[in-house]
Structure 1
Amino acid sequence: MKSILNPKLSAALSPNLPKFSSFALFPRPSEFMTPFPTRIPNHLRLNPTHFSSRNMIPTTQNRSLQSESSASASSSGEIHVIVGPMFAGKTTSLIRRIQSESGNGRNVAIIKSSKDTRYGLDSIVTHDGTKLPCWALANLSSFKQKFGVDAYEQLDVIGIDEAQFFDDLYDFCREAADHDGKTVVVAGLDGNYLRRNFGSVLDIIPLADSVTKLTARCEICGKHAFFTLRKTQETQVELIGGVDVYMPVCRQHYVNGQVAMETTRLVLESQKVECGSHS
């Protein structure tokens, strides 16, 4: 891997991937080809007048089309989206993909939102402690300048973690894949604690080459968990936290949990009213 990356990231990305030996797809020509006859019958001879050097030279228009086609092929990127509730392994999947791409000799970089300071600003970290160095940014549009234009040109793969916090996610992914030829791997929440669209993650689904929906394990019954239940009374959409604030739940326990949370809220409000009347 080239030296355009953060040295810590270069050291962290070195999976032991198996090496595959080359093999022949076709037998040698001598194994199935027979020699041409030494004398070609007259009726099979080609008329030289049908060919000229003019036929063998591409026109300016053809050369232009070939050039455009080649440029289009070389600039074709990809977008892969990984979504799911909290504790579903989104960051783990992102790290594995980045390590795999790096192991295949591609230049990689990882970005996360500077809003997420739970495990420090210089790394993306899974809930079980696995981490890789990253760029912590307030917005994605500043990445090319901060990373360096020349270094950005050499990048093959860009990973984005906690993508729901980036308002410019759609424009960045479209530009990086459609025009810059980058492979962009995006990991983030598809819904907030109210099961509504969170940030711009769902907006990039129409741009994506692939979408992976991960599930966690319901903290109450152990079934597949598709939703994130907030365990506290805060109501703001962006509330960064871990197991102290959120838990993954199945549909049944999400609904039951919401009912329980609403009941608790009403009880607390009534207690406040009673305390106010007594004072």
Structure 2
Amino acid sequence: MLYRPGDMGLLEIISSGAMFSGKTRTLLTRLETFMLAGRKVQLFCPKGSQERYRTQGEVVSHDGMSMRTMEINHPIEILKTLFQREDPLFLNTVNPGQSGISVVGIDEIMLFHHDIVKVVDFLVDHKFIVVASGLSVLSSGKPFGPMPELLAKADIITHLQAVCNICGNPATRTLPKFEKKKDIVIGKDYMALCRKCWEQKKNEEYEN
């Protein structure tokens, strides 16, 4: 559903527990729909998150759909870009229409510093529509970064499933195909797994 600019703020989170579920494609499709309706859209992503495809300045889905993006290190850069101010979190009044942007897309939102929650709150409070995509859980099964709080605050949640690489059932988890020594490793050498196959693989790793 499309809303008239300035009517209300809105947060949609496109999430999945598994990679390869179509999160980024769904995000880009949403943003294209807003652009076709005449909205001005700005897409952001964490710097380095697109290295799996060796792209710069573009968000690319696993099936090749792409869109220009602004790669940033910290969530506060979103506000600095939109408002051209150094400390927009502490302003009493701002003019969201100054840049003409009314829709903000955020890919791989789970990789951002937890300050992303404050930034999203600020945008929605000032009548921006925010559409963001991210993994809800790490490959260990633990919640991924700021995702629990973002999901709790979302007006709309679109939760996707992939296809299990082993049995073909709906996949809700991810495991790396390599030895993982830290929680977050960006790349595409992962398997999408259903809960049963994920648990079996985890048990095999533990036994070995």
Residues 1-279 of structure 1 aligned to structure 2 (within 5 Å):
74=6, 76-84=8-16, 85-116=18-49, 117-119=51-53, 120-146=55-81, 149=84, 153-167=99-113, 168-178=115-125, 180-242=126-188, 244=189, 246-264=190-208
Alignment root-mean-square deviation, CA: 1.8
Count of residue pairs brought into register by the alignment: 189
Greater relative CO, 1 or 2 (CA 8 Å, sep 6+): 2
Show CA shifts across 1:164-199 (max 9, x none).
111122101100001x21000010000000111111
Separation in structure 1 between the aligned mates of residue 45 and residue 154 of structure 2, nearest angstrom: 19
Q: What TM-score, normalized by structure 2, do the two folds share?
A: 0.85
- Following TM superposition, by how much is the alpha carbon of 1:121 offset from its aligned partner in structure 2, in angstroms? 2.8
Q: Residues 83 and 189 of structure 1 are in contact (CA less than 8 Å); yes or no, is this contact kept in structure 2?
A: yes
Q: 97-106 or 202-211: which moved more?
A: 202-211
Give 1 or 2: higher strand fraction. 2
Paired residue type of 2:42: A
Q: What TM-score, normalized by structure 1, do the two folds share?
A: 0.64
Paired residue type of 1:210: I
Q: Residues 144 and 152 of structure 1 are in contact (CA less than 8 Å); yes or no, is this contact kept in structure 2?
A: no
Give 1 or 2: higher helix fraction. 1
- Structure 1 residues not aligned, in runs of 5+: 1-72, 265-279
Residues 153 and 207 from structure 1, CA distance in 2 versus in 1: closer, same or farther, beyond 3 angstroms? farther
| Structure with the greater alpha carbon radius of gyration | 1
- Following TM superposition, by how much is the alpha carbon of 1:146 offset from its aligned partner in structure 2, in angstroms? 3.5
Paired residue type of 1:236: K
- Structure 2 residues not aligned, in runs of 5+: 85-94
Paired residue type of 1:211: I
- Following TM superposition, by how much is the alpha carbon of 1:97 offset from its aligned partner in structure 2, in angstroms? 0.1
